[in-house]
Chains A and B, each alone.
Chain A
Amino acid sequence: MSGKIIITTPFPTPEEVAAYFKIPAKRVAELDRMIAEHRAELVASRRKKASPRNGSRKSSDVVKTSRSKK
């Protein structure tokens, strides 16, 4: 078959997918936690990559970072 197919159906929700595959609620919660952890690590690594290299960072940036940790 050829030709491009245009999909018009809405994206299924995670709840619909979990129900379709009969994933137990407890496991869904574990998967959600793992995904959130992956996500946080990814965001942190992207932030690290985007931050300027040593020597070019302004002293005001350092103050901001340490404040945000509190």
Chain B
Amino acid sequence: MATPRPEPRNAFINVPYAKRYERVYLAFIAGIVGHGLVPTAAVRDPSSRFQLERIYELISAAQYSFHDLSWMSLDGKSPRTPRLNMAFELGLAVALSRGSGANHQWFVFDTVPYRLDKVLSDLGGIRPRFHDRSPESVLRALMNVFGRRANQPTLANLIEIYQEVERMARQIKRTYSVDLFDTRPFAELVYAANRVSPKNIPTLPD
């Protein structure tokens, strides 16, 4: 697989694709767009080729990646299993960041302090970021990761962007897709977040 050059504005989101993580997913979109970046994610794409190749290309084309490892439970479907995709994608990102001339930066998120030390001790020494699955906590965590030299958003700005993204998500669910973890809803949520950013960040020209 060829490794594409990272786009300096791309940020890969790696969260569980589950109903109870919808608000976390929307908050990552709002927070990343509110900092002037373009989120990408390995959302379901029925027309896509081999999934591993697609994920690898998305992560390697991103300057940053955000890995939420807080889903620790077994899923409900038989046979009941844990979800390993998030940890696997983090592994890809770590490998990419260690390559020669690599410029990829990755961040780990969890909801329970010290839990990752136990479950993924290979990450020892890495400080995860914490949230409580509320949009505000995700946005706060992202503000601790990023700053901007110009047009720095405030938490209130990001919350307003989130509210508009959430509203667009409701509209998408009403009109054509109950699943937000698909290619088209994802693209439209990112577009909406970007479109409303200048209206919510006063220093940005409208």
Q: Which of A's residues lie within 8 Å of B, judged by CB?
A: 1-2, 4-12, 14, 17-18, 20-23, 27-28, 31-32, 34-35, 38-39, 42
Chain B 73-113: CB-based contact to A (< 8 A → 1; otherwise 0): 00000000000000000000000010000000111000000
* B38 touching A17, Cβ below 8 Å: yes
* B115 close to A (CB within 8 Å): no
Which of A1, A8, A11, A27 has the most C-beta atoms of chain B within 10 angstroms of its own C-beta?
A11
Check: B173 CB closer than 8 A to any chain A CB: no
Contacts of B192 in A (CB 8 A): 31, 35
* A4 & B147 in contact (Cβ 8 Å cutoff): yes
Is A7 within 8 A of B149, CB to CB?
yes
Q: How many A-B residue pairs have CB under 8 A?
A: 83
Q: Say which size band chain B's interface belongs to.
A: 35 or more
Could you tell me the distance in whole angstroms from the C-beta of A45 to the nearest C-beta in chain B?
A: 12
In the complex, per-residue mask of B128-157: 1 if CB is within 8 Å of any chain A CB, else 0: 000000000000000011111111000000
Q: Please tell me if B18 contacts chain A, counting CB pairs below 8 Å.
A: no
Contacts of A21 in B (CB 8 A): 187, 190-191
Query: In whole angstroms, how far apart are the Cα atoms of A25 and B171 in the complex?
Result: 19
A7-B148, A12-B36 known; A31 vs B191 contact (CB < 8 Å):
yes
Shortest beta-carbon distance, A30 to chain B, in Å?
Answer: 10
